[in-house]
Amino acid sequence: MTSTLADVAKAAGVHPGTASKALNPETRHRVADDTVKRVLSIAKKLNYQPNNIARSLRTRKTGTIGLLVPDLTNALFPPIVRGIERVLSEHGLHALVVNTDNSPEKANQLFTALRLRQCDGFILATAFRNDPIVEELAERNIPSVLVNRLTDKKLLPSVSGDEWSAMHVAVDHLISLGHTHIAHIAGPRSISNGSIRRAAFLDAVEEEKLKKDHCPVIVASEYSEDAGEAALLKLFASTKVKPTAIIAGNDQIAIGAIDGLRQLKLSCPEDVSVIGFNDSPLVDRLQPSLTTLHLPKHQLGEDAAVILLEIMSGKRTQKAEAHLLPCDLIVRNSTARVSSKANR
């Protein structure tokens, strides 16, 4: 037999309105702590399940957050999703996760579907530098946060890694190992990560007074191993002075680049050092283990969810502030001192 809110209230000796407030994470702060504990304990014993449909009709809130992710097969995103879900669940909210396959068309279709489900807010890990979905969310003032992505127009709050500083750290690390011929295989420029990391690399090259023609940039078609391998082969076919080190746009591109080096009968790190970005799971198990920049993925998700909840509760305005988390360099075996024979 299903217990009702009235059953819980009667057993706890409180008014049904008080029981309702105690059971709702957004309103329980209005009820005395001992009453909240008593109501929650009794609700658990009676196996009380709230009528979410009735609640949504009454409050015009569904308790759901739309979460758009570009590629769930990319190891970068599951920890971000888990961080978001952990925070939301503590507040009685649930994420509706959709996978867009990095397609603007599919993203728009899924966003429309989530809007029809009347999600209370949105977290986007899918934003392109120019993104109509972001513009719509900002125009309609729907509580929303970007995670691991930025847009050219600063319209929504965002949480991402400090990619600019991270790329400078990567260049400095390679210089400390004697490298002066450093290439960058960048991610797609339509996405902020690719654009920012590329610009940061070029800035570091200029700051360290390296020769620009010794530090070429080539753009991978996507964040994948195949794209990284293709870009590496194109890089070595098109440059007269071969790089002794490569900084990749992400770990997948880095892995593909190492595969490309093998095709050219070159060894990593003996002939060419390689640095990735994100510190994806299992990159420490590769041969060689991958030196990479650690992106605090779980914290990105948690912080994005916290900001969204503060916007929804009125504690924070939807100001387009960028929240940057530090990215630490994790040195492993894919980087080494430059060979004495390099570029002679």
Lowest mean pLDDT among 107-111, 173-177, 240-244: 240-244
**Rounded alpha-carbon distances, angstroms, from residue 51 to 20, 54, 298:** 11, 5, 31
pLDDT at residue 57, rounded to an integer: 40
> pLDDT at residue 53 above 70?
no
pLDDT at residue 164, rounded to an integer: 98
List CB contacts of 10: < 8 A, sequence separation 6 or more.
none
Torsion, CA 211, CA 216, CA 217, CA 223, rounded to 10:
-120
Determine the residue type at 197.
R
Spatial contact of 148 and 123, defined as CB atoms under 8 Å apart:
no
CATH class of 5-50: mainly alpha
pLDDT at residue 341, rounded to an integer: 67
> 186: which strand partners?
219
pLDDT at residue 342, rounded to an integer: 65
* 60 φ/ψ sector (left φ>0, alpha ψ -120 to 50, else beta): left
Instruction: Tell which CATH classification among 3.40.50.2300, 3.40.50.620, 3.30.470.20, 3.30.1050.10 matches the domain 62-161+296-325.
Output: 3.40.50.2300
pLDDT at residue 319, rounded to an integer: 93
Q: How is residue 204 written in tokens?
A: 């570091």
Lowest mean pLDDT among 2-6, 37-41, 196-200, 301-305: 2-6
List CB contacts of 321: < 8 A, sequence separation 6 or more.
157, 158
- DSSP characters for 64-115? EEEEEES-TTSTTHHHHHHHHHHHHHHTT-EEEEEE-TT-HHHHHHHHHHHH
List CB contacts of 17: < 8 A, sequence separation 6 or more.
none
| Spans of all domains in the chain | 5-50, 62-161+296-325, 163-295
> pLDDT at residue 43 above 70?
yes
The confidence band for 170, taking pLDDT boundaries of 50, 70 and 90, is: very high
* Digit-coded pLDDT (tens) for 108-120: 999 999 999 999 9
List CB contacts of 308: < 8 A, sequence separation 6 or more.
65, 121, 123, 143, 144, 145
The verdict on whether omega for the bond into residue 78 sits within 30 degrees of 0, i.e. cis, is no
CATH class of 163-295: alpha beta
| Fold agreement (5-50, 163-295) | no
**In the chain, what is the greatest distance between 2 CA atoms, to the nearest angstrom?**
86
Within 13 Å of residue 196, how many CA atoms lie on the same side as its CB? 21
pLDDT at residue 60, rounded to an integer: 57
* Residue 84: CB atoms within 10 Å: 29
User: Of the candidates 312, 259, 315, 307, which has an alpha carbon nearest to the alpha carbon of residue 287?
Assistant: 259
The confidence band for 339, taking pLDDT boundaries of 50, 70 and 90, is: confident
Higher-pLDDT residue of 55 and 21 is 21
* Digit-coded pLDDT (tens) for 251-274: 999 999 999 999 999 999 999 999
Query: What is the average per-residue pLDDT within 308-334?
Result: 96
User: Of the candidates 153, 149, 106, 145, which has an alpha carbon nearest to the alpha carbon of residue 126?
Assistant: 149
Lowest mean pLDDT among 58-62, 162-166, 275-279: 58-62
> pLDDT at residue 50 above 90?
no
Higher-pLDDT residue of 282 and 1 is 282
Determine the residue type at 160.
S
* Digit-coded pLDDT (tens) for 283-314: 999 999 999 999 999 999 999 999 999 999 99
pLDDT at residue 214, rounded to an integer: 96
Higher-pLDDT residue of 15 and 167 is 167
Lowest mean pLDDT among 31-35, 133-137, 167-171: 31-35
pLDDT at residue 2, rounded to an integer: 65
> pLDDT at residue 325 above 80?
yes
Q: What is the mean pLDDT of the chain?
A: 93
Q: How is residue 297 written in tokens?
A: 């993925």
pLDDT at residue 139, rounded to an integer: 96
**Rounded alpha-carbon distances, angstroms, from residue 55 to 65, 94, 178, 230, 310:** 16, 15, 64, 54, 21
Higher-pLDDT residue of 59 and 316 is 316
pLDDT at residue 343, rounded to an integer: 57
* Digit-coded pLDDT (tens) for 75-89: 999 999 999 999 999
